[in-house]
Structure 1
Amino acid sequence: MSDKEDNISGYCAKSWKLIRDLFHENFIENLDIGASLCIFYRGECVVDLVGGWFDLENDRRPYTHDTLQPVYSTGKGVMATALALCVQRGILNYEEKVSTYWPEFKQNGKENIKIKDLLSHRAGLTVIDNDNDRILNVEDILDDPTKITYLLAKQKPYWQPDIGD
């Protein structure tokens, strides 16, 4: 398939052509129906591509820069980057126990959990119990930001944490 058949358009700096080729390959191998990709490098936009289709089954509307995209788990990358920056600056240490930085965390079997255990999803903290058995929602957290830290500090792991060394 060509870029035209895949509806690929946008900007790609010459030195980033490999990224454009990989973007195109996703459509050739049916890994994407529609997608957008924007990369900034050292403050400059080096890739800003869209391609494919919003809806193949009904009307083949092109995927454009204005197509709304559901995004999942984007906070994980941002949080990992922020923590890596803290480690680089000597503020945090991956090998240190969470309770070194947050003493209230050291309860209900969490006393040996390290920063790296949280980042690698090995701490057994997949769900946060709410005091009143009601499902915790975004409004609860926005209304009282300290509530989430309180609940997480007292949370008991759902399984014995797989503490890594």
Structure 2
Amino acid sequence: MDDKHKQLPDLFDKSFRDIVKAFDSFFDESIKHVHDFFQQTTIPVEVFETDRDVTVEAYLPNVSREQIRIDRSGNQLRIRVDERQLREVKNEEAHYYHRSHSLSQRERVVTLPFAVAETASSASFKGGVLTIVFPKHNSTIKVIDVDDQ
């Protein structure tokens, strides 16, 4: 029986294990990048209401104020974050130079639950939290009576 094992190639020798480890590493890293991509596309948001206003809080860690853009149309609020990254690698000894530039955008559209005033909204950004406050629209609610027929 020992003679048969010596005749068959050893499928689990060091070189084969190295190849398997390389494949595992490749797929592990790829999955991490896919996971990171999907995690970054969402902006967590909470909406709070009081008697006088509607407050939207967006959680934007590792973002600067200059990267944020806020737009509103009707009762829709859009929060957009533009992220630019410039990467440069130089190695004089190896005569190697690599430069890459990437741009990514994340955005979140929030439907505001109540009519809000067209003006007098305010926004602040502190500690990675964007806070937008809209005063409620002061329109009166008209009640319509239903007649019996």
User: Structure 2 length as normaliser, TM-score?
Assistant: 0.22
User: Structure 1 length as normaliser, TM-score?
Assistant: 0.20
Higher relative contact order (CA 8 A, sep 6+): 2
Greater Rg over alpha carbons, structure: 2
Which structure is higher in helix share? 1
Which structure is higher in strand share? 2
